[in-house]
Amino acid sequence: MNVWPYQDKSFTTEEIAQKLLGCLLVRESPEGLCGGYIVETEAYLGVKDQAAHVYGGRRTPRLEAFYREGGIFYIYTLHTHLCLNVITQSETQPEGILIRALEPAIGLDIMAQRRHKTGKLLTNGPGKLTQALGVDKAQDYGSSVGESPLRIDFLKRKVPKLVGKAPRIGIPNKGEWTSKNLRYFVEGNPYVSDAKGAKDSSRDWII
């Protein structure tokens, strides 16, 4: 059975963010099944993290998922796009992980239809991957990552050869939190959102 493997809270959010790399994110829809391997994540460390939505203990209707159990999706709207996050801890410890990029693996034709794009442009950004998968806020917000139309397969995973660490994207003026290396990615994978060259795609996975 495919369930949230970090229920016992014995792992930090930073650790889980790295463990999610290589896991298969899939989405079931009337159009068919599609999905890809997670290649880029960012950790958001709760009320003390100036870049987190819940910084300072903020609690508003859209943030409710943070104050529930780990292993559910938190989805927020950014202009026209949706950003997909996994809640990692507990009611009293509102932390989460932003999924920033996928390597397409299943239903490439369906994703291309939704994106009107192909290749890297399919899923190499947080808003692009939600569009490619057909993520729907009303349907997927708060749903379980283990068994829902939108879910993560923690078993059939690839193993990154090398995990890169870097500061998170787009959070200037957040004090020390701006420069912390809380962004993780599969080194050399061409689908990482700011991968420039994208040449060395042969050396990204062990398996």
Partner DNA sequence: AGGCGGATGTTCT
Partner DNA sequence: GAACATCCGCCTA
Other C-beta atoms closer than 10 Å to the C-beta of 17 total 29
Pairing state between β 73-78 and 163-166: unpaired
Nearest to 78 by CA among 16, 26, 154, 130: 130
Q: Give start and end residues of each alpha helix (H) in 55-175.
A: 108-115, 126-133, 137-140
Kindly state the smallest distance separating residue 49's Cβ from DNA, in Å. Answer: 11
Where do contacts with DNA occur on this chain (CB under 7 A)? Answer: 51, 58, 60-63, 76-81, 83, 115, 117, 121, 125-129, 131, 169-171, 193, 196-197
Residue 41 or 193: the one with the smaller Cβ distance to DNA is 193
User: In the complex, what is the shortest distance from the CB of residue 61 to DNA, in angstroms, rounded to a whole number?
Assistant: 5
Q: Interhelix angle for 126-133 vs 108-115, to 10°?
A: 110
Minimum distance from CB of 175 to DNA (Å)? 13
Nearer to DNA (CB atom), residue 104 or residue 127: 127
Q: Parallel, antiparallel, or unpaired: how do β-strands 150-153 and 96-106 relate?
A: unpaired
Judged by CB, which is closer to DNA: 6, or 49? 49
Q: How far is the CB of 148 from DNA (least distance, A)?
A: 20
